[in-house]
Amino acid sequence: MQRTVSSTIVLDITEPADLVFSIAAAGDYDLSTEHVTATLDGAPVSIAELTDVHATRLHRVQSGVGRLVMSYDATIEGTASPMARDDVELLTYLRPSRYAESDALAETSAAEFRGIQGAAELLTAVSSWVGTRLSYMPGSSLPTDGAVRTLLARRGVCRDYSHLCVALLRAQGVPARSVAVYAPGLDPMDFHAVAEAWVDGAWRAVDASALAPRSTLVRIATGRDAADTAFLNVLSGRAELVEISVTAVADELPNDDLDQLVSVL
């Protein structure tokens, strides 16, 4: 499978800012082409690249005042190797986190999914439950909303669907985490977020929004929740988002059977 992805983020920097972008394909893909650039008022800006334990590639930019344009494009050949298991990591993804409050949703999870046998069946049940109880409504949630608020509001975007799935799965004793991805087939096109759960010896994708085929997803960032996977973190200074554009194309768009276990590769 060949996938081509790109993104451009335009920011107005009103105070000198320290910024971290998560927009590059994760480090374990075979990239036939890739370009990462940053300009401030048209002049090149230096970029420092860091890689975390999940092969998430972070691009840090220290910018002066002006219009900053961060651009990325890549062509990905084939698929990545499955992500390895780490016992400490699995414990981390069983614990509550800022936007996936599994402790607060423990009783809800127990009541809704009691009696389900097997992690694979639980995965399907959680994905279906979240997908049927939430309405996908762009602009309906805040960046600070977590899984509890999402459930109460009964609406959200992909980030909110992911957080609710993660929280409900953790409450059932299944390690789960959030993954930011490029998603060929997504309409309207944007960055996308899905959940990932440890089932039958591998990390499996859970997309309760069902907006794009899971087998075409390209991993960008992996972590506990959006605090670890946001496409931009402003560490200091001030930056106003002016424009964002994302593309993701695959040479084939297969049907996605939501009852099947699929990994982000």
Q: What is the pLDDT of residue 82?
A: 87
Q: What is the pLDDT of residue 187?
A: 93
Q: What is the pLDDT of residue 193?
A: 98
Q: What is the pLDDT of residue 102?
A: 98
Tokens describing residue 118: 């097997």
Q: What is the pLDDT of residue 117?
A: 86
Instruction: Give the three-state DSSP class for 124.
Output: helix
In the chain, the amino acid numbered 32 is: S
Q: What is the pLDDT of residue 85?
A: 78
| 106-113 helix and 158-171 helix, angle to the nearest 10 degrees | 80
Beta bridge partners of 218: 182
Distance CA 257, CA 254 (A): 9
Q: What is the pLDDT of residue 259?
A: 85
Q: What is the pLDDT of residue 84?
A: 77
**Residue 86 Cα distances to 90, 121, 171, angstroms:** 6, 23, 20
Tokens describing residue 213: 């085929």
Could you tell me which of 222, 200, 219, 209 has the C-alpha nearest to residue 256? 209
- pLDDT tens per residue, the chain (265 residues)? 999 999 999 999 999 999 999 999 999 899 999 999 999 999 999 999 999 989 999 999 999 999 999 999 999 999 998 887 788 999 999 999 999 999 999 999 999 999 898 889 999 999 999 999 999 999 889 999 999 999 999 999 999 999 999 999 999 999 999 999 999 999 999 999 999 999 999 999 999 999 999 999 999 999 999 999 999 999 999 999 999 999 999 999 999 988 899 999 9
Q: What predicted TM-score, i.e. pTM, was given to this entire model?
A: 0.95
